[in-house]
Structure 1
Amino acid sequence: MPAFELFIGLRYTRAKRRNHFISFISLISMAGIALGVAALIVVLSVMNGFQDELRSRILGVAAHIQITGSDNTLTDWRRVAAEASRHPEVTAAAPYIMAQNMLTYDSAVQGAIVRGIVPELESGVAQFSSHMKQGQLADLRAGEFGIVLGSELARALGARVGDKVVVMAPQGQVTPAGVVPRLKQFTVKGIFEVGMYEYDYGLALINMDDAARLYRMGDRVSGVRLALKDLYRAPQVAHDLLDMVHGDVYISDWTRQHANFFRAIQIEKNVMFIILLLIVAVAAFNIVSTLVMAVTDKQADIAILRTLGASPASIMKIFIVQGALIGTIGMVIGVAGGVALALNIDVVVPAIERLFGIHFMAKDVYYISELPSKLEVTDVVYIASVSFILTLLATLYPSYRASKTNPAEALRYE
């Protein structure tokens, strides 16, 4: 772009106008773009934070990869765990026995999934130890028939540490009176709280040896759970394990088990991006009205430039520079403000709550009581790029209109 076109475009932007309304509309356009860009960055950062927080809570209990047999049992789990552990991405492996059960205490009855685990191995694939409210996972010793309950499950049963809970196994036993469910009394050794209702209300843990005796599994287990160095590589690792693990096994990863949940979050994020982008679009197209009025205000200047030899393309570039500068200033302010707010949302939100005496996410209602935020550089670059493109598109019509100005007509009444 020739220097004189850039010079004149910048000069028009800085110059004081006879029509102050044009300057006011320019400021409104900048403010609108800045507000829209900042809102987009903050909202997407908060949604990224929520997504990561929920993923960490889910994967704190669910395995990255799960290996089961064709009939939902494995007869030689040690071999399967050893073969899977040869993969460089696998950091830990732990067997488990799992079944649906009814738990009773006093007069309360609740259905739950009871998972038999090896406590020392389970700590490698799940984060129960860091979520224990009472007791320890190591208290689940073989032969003692101890049980660890989710916090909501314990509350529903009214059970506390030290109480005796009866577990009714789904497999029945034949008696002279007919087939009746097997009952076993377990002592509550601890209570965990992951922060996900699905697990806090519907999961209980016992020692795997006790589970094998209760469900008459013998040396069989339900499957093997794996932890990975990089959880995002789970689909690829699961595919690799199909060739590494021998036997008739089924391998699934966390992206399959919770696909609908995370897909819903991603769809919500995309919809929010489109909705908030409309703010930027409205502000960007305010530039159209700004430049149309500026073109009308500068009719005489355009005519003089044309008579001095400026081409229509040069006139068009002058006003593109003017509109692009308005949009760029708004975009830069928005990016700076949005990044600053996204990085300090853990300070800003509590300050607003104290100032107005409100609480956005009460602890007694939401498991996540603070707004998490994760700023992604790619999101910032994408938002800034889209905003700049919208700004350039908004400058095309007014600039084209300016390039079509007839010098004779414009100077007739000057």
Structure 2
Amino acid sequence: MILSRYERVIAKRYLLPGKGEGFIFLVAGISLAAVALGVAALIIVMSVMNGFRAELFDKIVGLNGHAVVQGYEGRLSNWQQIAAAARKSPGVTSALPLIDQPLMASANGRVEGVLVHAMRFEDIVHNKTIASHIKSGSLANLRPGSNTVAIGSRLAEAIGAFPGSQISLISPEGRSTPIGTVPRIVSYTVGATFEVGVYDYDNSYVVMPLEEAQNLLMMGDQVGMVEIQTTDPDKVDQFLAPLQDVVRGHGQIVDWRQMNSALFQALEVERIAMFVVLSLIVLVAVFNILSSLIMLVRAKTRDIAILRTMGASRRGLIRIFMTVGVTIGVLGIALGIILGAVFLFFRQGVVDAIQALTGQNLWDPTVRILTDLPSKTDPIEVTVIIVTALVLSFLATLYPAFKAASTDPVQVLRYE
């Protein structure tokens, strides 16, 4: 929208408060602030929702893969054949043997339910989800035959364990006696503690070498499952289709969507719902722009009539008032982007400050799953938010602008 020099001067004049127009300026300022808050709220909430999903996906996939081949009754005897066939499938980057077994852990007179997560030593060391979140100790201590394990930080706090201390793992698969099966209890040294940022993992995971878990559970050379990573998690079904014949009769293939379908579906529904609800804030702000422009047109009726008698065209008046409204929207959007960026940058500090002031735990990891407030800003979503706010601001200027252009100077000036 190209404005002539006089149109730019008038539009600038109407954006600033004139004598007796303080209330109109106040309404316009409120409109600008409302647009800014609406845009900031949308950017913040969508970024947090995206970050929540991305963090969960990275942590879950980092420990469980894009898919697993689970053996019937928790045992997979021909895992070497399945792993070899999986590696030959297009799109598959790795296929690793794995044991996931719920057991009990005991230390210092305390007993907790745990999930033993056993992998080969080299796979443990190269697992970024675990290796990059070591709090104390070292994964190098977990060599086969060392009777050493790594445990989650919250589990360590719960049972009072630390690197160098002893914990006992209790397996119901023990030896048979005349009075029944006696649980198998084996002591291990804690070699490291880790905190991946997912409460359930930090509170229950015990990572140990595959050979140690096979001895503890008396599985021989068997494993519980084969963990599979692919180049594209959204195409995991296509990549693993050739593996169905090899797996049939020995186990089943379960991908990341099936393992966590309820969680990710709930996140997607909540994400869409939050976008729709928060968009109403922008819509309300746009109505404020509409009302402030209508008030401005009513206050400037005499000026409009004079401009018309001096040769101002109807299109020129439309451009002037549309420029005023769109400028308010653009300034509000820019301020909203800045507010959103600042909040996201200091998001954890803001949450901690509010918790300190209110005494309430706003981000309880036992409920929120993740330890810290995540964030991941999607440029495409931000663009959609900006375009939506711009379009709504533009539409809000149409009625006041055409109302101003339809002013009859003869009728107005007759009574002046």
Stretches of structure 1 that go unaligned for 5 or more consecutive residues are none
- Encode CA deviations 1:205-240: one digit per residue, 9 max, x unaligned: 3332232233332332111112345xxx21313432
CA distance in 2, matches of 1:235, 1:43: 24
Matches within 5 A, 1:319-338: 319-335=321-337, 337-338=338-339
- The residue type equivalent to 1:240 in the other structure is F
CA contact (8 A) 1:65 1:227 kept: yes
Number of residue-to-residue matches in the alignment = 406
Specify whether residues 138 and 250 from structure 1 end up closer, same or farther in structure 2 by C-alpha distance, changes over 3 A only. Answer: farther
CA distance in 2, matches of 1:226, 1:201: 25
CA distance in 2, matches of 1:62, 1:129: 15
CA contact (8 A) 2:166 2:190 kept: no
CA contact (8 A) 1:26 1:287 kept: yes
CA distance in 2, matches of 1:64, 1:258: 11
Shift of 1:46: 4.0
CA contact (8 A) 1:97 1:222 kept: yes
- The residue type equivalent to 1:36 in the other structure is G
Shift of 1:175: 1.4
Shift of 1:381: 0.8
Matches within 5 A, 1:86-105: 86-87=88-89, 89-105=91-107
CA distance in 1, matches of 2:198, 2:95: 23
CA distance in 1, matches of 2:360, 2:229: 32
Q: Secondary structure at the match of 1:61?
A: helix
CA distance in 2, matches of 1:363, 1:305: 57
Matches within 5 A, 1:2-13: 8=7, 11-13=10-12
CA contact (8 A) 1:125 1:227 kept: no
- Same amino acid, percent of matched pairs: 35
Specify whether residues 205 and 369 from structure 1 end up closer, same or farther in structure 2 by C-alpha distance, changes over 3 A only. Answer: closer
Shift of 1:408: 4.2
- The residue type equivalent to 1:45 in the other structure is S
2:247 corresponds in structure 1 to 247
Specify whether residues 38 and 100 from structure 1 end up closer, same or farther in structure 2 by C-alpha distance, changes over 3 A only. Answer: closer
Stretches of structure 2 that go unaligned for 5 or more consecutive residues are none
Matches within 5 A, 1:272-291: 272-291=274-293
Specify whether residues 374 and 359 from structure 1 end up closer, same or farther in structure 2 by C-alpha distance, changes over 3 A only. Answer: farther
CA distance in 2, matches of 1:361, 1:49: 23
CA contact (8 A) 2:329 2:393 kept: yes
2:346 corresponds in structure 1 to 345
CA distance in 2, matches of 1:138, 1:93: 22
1:14 corresponds in structure 2 to 13
CA contact (8 A) 1:93 1:121 kept: no
Specify whether residues 2 and 200 from structure 1 end up closer, same or farther in structure 2 by C-alpha distance, changes over 3 A only. Answer: closer
Aligned equivalent of 2:387, options 385, 395, 406? 385
- The residue type equivalent to 1:261 in the other structure is L
1:40 corresponds in structure 2 to 42
CA contact (8 A) 2:56 2:370 kept: no
CA distance in 2, matches of 1:363, 1:138: 37
CA contact (8 A) 2:286 2:396 kept: yes
CA distance in 2, matches of 1:307, 1:175: 109
TM-score, structure 2 normalization: 0.80
- Encode CA deviations 1:277-318: one digit per residue, 9 max, x unaligned: 343333221112221122212334544666789887775555
Specify whether residues 363 and 301 from structure 1 end up closer, same or farther in structure 2 by C-alpha distance, changes over 3 A only. Answer: closer
